[in-house]
C-alpha cells in the first residue's frame, strides 16, 4: 500500500489520538490509493513490445462504502499479454502492487527460452489497464478467466509480492497448476493493513478498527476478505510443489513472511533466501531466475 510522507504521518498520529473516527476514514481512503502508474523500465521495453496483447473486460470489485460514489459501475479493460509459442505449456505471472506485467521481463525471456509460454496481465489501476483500484478479488476473477481459457493446467504460476497472495489463494480455490513460485510474498491481507498502520503513524491501538474501516470502505460486501486471503490457513494444495523466494533484506515484505509460508506448506515447499537484492531487484537476479527454471523443470511438460 502507499508510502506515507513524514507530514502525513504526523497528521495521522495526531488525528488518531484526538479524533480516531476521522483518522480511520482518512486512513481507509489513503490505503486504497494505488498512486502513479509504474512505467515500463527501459530494460523491459523490448519484452513488453514483443507481447501478444489480449484485452479482457472486467468488472472491478472495489466499491466505496454506503454512498456508492466510487462504485465500480461498468467494466474496465484489463491489459493481457502473452509470449512464446501459442501451443506451448503456459506459465501465469501475477505482479505486485504499483508494478506491471513487464516487471517480469527477464523471467519472461527465460520462460520463452525454455520452450514455455508466458501469460500475464496488468492489474486494475496498474500499467495499461483501466480502473483506479485493485483488490485481491480482482486478481482472483482475472486469474480464473485466464485459467478457464487454458487447454490444460498451468505448467506453473509465478507471483511477486501482492501477486503471491492472489495467485496462492486462486490455487487454494481450485485453479490448477503443476508448480507455484512465490517471490517476496505476503502471508495475508491483514499484513497490508498492519503495514499501513505502522507506516502511516496511526496509533497501534487502532489496528483492528483500521482493518475494519479499510474493508468497509472498499469492499463493504465482502466482510470475509481477511479470512479468505490468508495463505497460512488457506494453503496452496500439497499437490502443487511451491518455491518461496525472498531476500533477507526486503524492506517492503519482511523475509520472515516467506519463512512462515514455507513452514505452513512444509510438506510441499522449499525456501530460497537471497541477500542484497531487496524487494524488486530479486526479479532480475541471474541466480534467482536459474532457481525458478530449476523448480519448473521437474514437471513432465
Q: Is the pLDDT of residue 46 over 50?
A: yes
Report residue 9: phi and psi, to 5°: -60, -40
Identify the band that residue 63 occupies on the pLDDT scale cut at 50, 70 and 90: confident
Mean pLDDT on 123-131:
96
Mean pLDDT on 241-264:
97
Lowest mean pLDDT across 70-74, 104-108, 267-271: 70-74
Q: Is the pLDDT of residue 227 over 90?
A: yes
Q: For position 297, what pLDDT does the model report?
A: 87
Q: For position 152, what pLDDT does the model report?
A: 95
Q: Is the pLDDT of residue 72 over 90?
A: no
Mean pLDDT on 189-202:
96
Q: What are the E-state strand segments in the chain?
A: 52-53, 56-58, 76-78, 80-83, 90-94, 117-121, 156-160, 180-183, 242-247, 269-274
Mean pLDDT on 232-245:
97
Q: For position 3, what pLDDT does the model report?
A: 58
If one compares 267 and 159, the residue with the highest pLDDT of the two is: 159
Is the separation of the CB atoms in 90 and 273 below 8 Å?
no
Complete DSSP assignment for 88-149: SPEEEEE--TT--GGGGHHHHHHHHHTT-EEEEEPPTTSTT---S---HHHHHHHHHHHHHT
Going from the C-alpha of 11 to that of each of 7, 26, 28, 215, 217, the distances in angstroms are: 6, 10, 14, 22, 20
Averaged pLDDT of the chain: 94
Mean pLDDT on 217-239:
96
C-alpha cell at 56: 479482457
Amino acid at each position: 500500500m502507499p508510502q506515507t510522507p513524514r507530514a502525513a504521518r504526523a497528521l495521522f498520529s495526531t488525528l488518531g489520538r484526538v479524533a480516531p473516527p476521522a483518522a480511520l476514514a482518512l486512513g481507509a481512503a489513503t490505503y486504497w490509493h494505488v498512486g502513479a502508474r509504474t512505467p515500463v523500465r527501459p530494460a523491459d521495453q523490448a519484452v513488453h513490445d514483443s507481447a501478444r496483447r489480449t484485452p479482457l473486460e472486467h468488472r472491478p470489485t472495489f466499491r466505496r462504502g454506503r454512498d456508492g460514489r466510487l462504485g465500480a459501475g461498468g467494466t474496465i479493460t484489463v491489459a493481457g499479454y502473452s509470449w512464446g509459442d501459442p501451443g506451448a505449456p503456459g506459465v501465469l505471472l501475477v505482479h505486485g502492487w504499483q508494478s506491471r506485467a513487464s516487471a517480469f521481463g527477464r523471467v519472461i525471456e527465460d520462460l520463452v527460452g525454455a520452450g514455455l509460454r508466458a501469460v500475464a496481465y496488468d492489474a486494475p489501476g496498474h500499467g495499461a489497464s483501466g480502473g483506479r483500484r485493485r483488490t485481491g478479488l480482482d486478481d482472483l476473477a482475472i486469474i480464473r478467466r485466464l485459467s478457464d481459457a487454458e487447454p490444460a493446467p498451468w505448467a506453473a504460476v509465478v507471483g511477486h509480492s501482492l501477486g503471491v497472495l492472489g495467485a496462492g489463494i486462486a490455487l487454494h480455490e481450485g485453479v490448477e497448476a503443476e508448480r507455484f513460485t512465490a517471490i517476496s510474498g505476503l502471508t495475508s491481507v491483514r499484513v497490508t493493513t498492519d503495514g499501513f498502520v505502522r507506516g502511516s503513524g496511526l496509533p497501534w491501538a487502532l489496528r483492528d478498527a483500521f482493518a475494519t474501516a479499510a474493508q468497509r470502505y472498499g469492499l463493504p460486501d465482502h466482510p470475509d476478505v481477511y479470512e479468505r486471503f490468508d495463505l497460512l490457513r488457506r494453503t496452496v494444495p500439497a499437490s502443487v510443489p511451491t518455491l518461496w523466494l525472498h531476500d533477507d533484506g526486503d524492506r517492503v515484505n519482511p523475509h520472515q513472511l516467506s519463512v512462515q509460508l514455507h513452514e505452513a506448506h512444509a510438506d510441499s515447499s522449499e525456501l530460497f533466501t537471497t541477500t542484497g537484492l531487496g524487494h524488486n531487484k530479486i526479479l532480475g537476479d541471474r541466480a534467482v531466475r536459474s532457481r525458478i527454471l530449476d523448480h519448473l523443470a521437474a514437471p513432465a511438460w
